Amino acid sequence: MPTMDISKSVSGIKPPFSFPLKHEGSCTQVAFEQTTGLVAVSTEDYCVQFYSLFDNHEVSEVQVCKRIFQPADDVMLYVALVAISLDGSLMATIDVEEKLGGLVCLKYWSRGSLVAEYLLSTVIYEPHT
């Protein structure tokens, strides 16, 4: 059986969200933007963090969804998917809110004037219904 060793760790990247077991295989937490060498990582605070592999530091952070409930409500909200177009001009995210009615939200983002700046352009609620 092959073994895996950690050859290098990257400090500065926030910890990812721990997905529920039933969604673990269908979630993509990391996307790579080829033109600038940025890695987009969904974090546990409902953001997508952009980290430069070339410069070894955080470039920016995009707030994907806002928490509008109290921790006692027992609502689970997370960014389930992050994808970036080949040229980096578009980003798509899917955030999922479980319990309290359950809501899936597909969002399209267009790149702003700065590196790793994305502006929300389209929101589609419940895209599969």
Note whether residue 96 is domain-resident.
yes
CA separation for the pair 12, 80 (Å, rounded): 21
Note whether residue 93 is domain-resident.
yes
Q: Which domain holds residue 94?
A: 28-125
Q: Which two tokens stand for residue 8?
A: 């290098």
Note whether residue 100 is domain-resident.
yes
Note whether residue 68 is domain-resident.
yes
pLDDT, residue 128, reads 74
pLDDT, residue 1, reads 58
pLDDT, residue 54, reads 86
Note whether residue 77 is domain-resident.
yes
Tally of domains in the chain: 1
Note whether residue 23 is domain-resident.
no
Note whether residue 66 is domain-resident.
yes
10-residue mean pLDDT series, the chain (129 residues): 59 57 56 86 86 88 77 70 91 84 89 91 86
pLDDT, residue 109, reads 96
CA distances from 56 to 32, 35, 61, 65 (A): 14, 16, 15, 26
Taking the CA of residue 93 as centre, how many other CA atoms within 13 Å lie in the half-sphere pointing to its CB?
27
Note whether residue 21 is domain-resident.
no
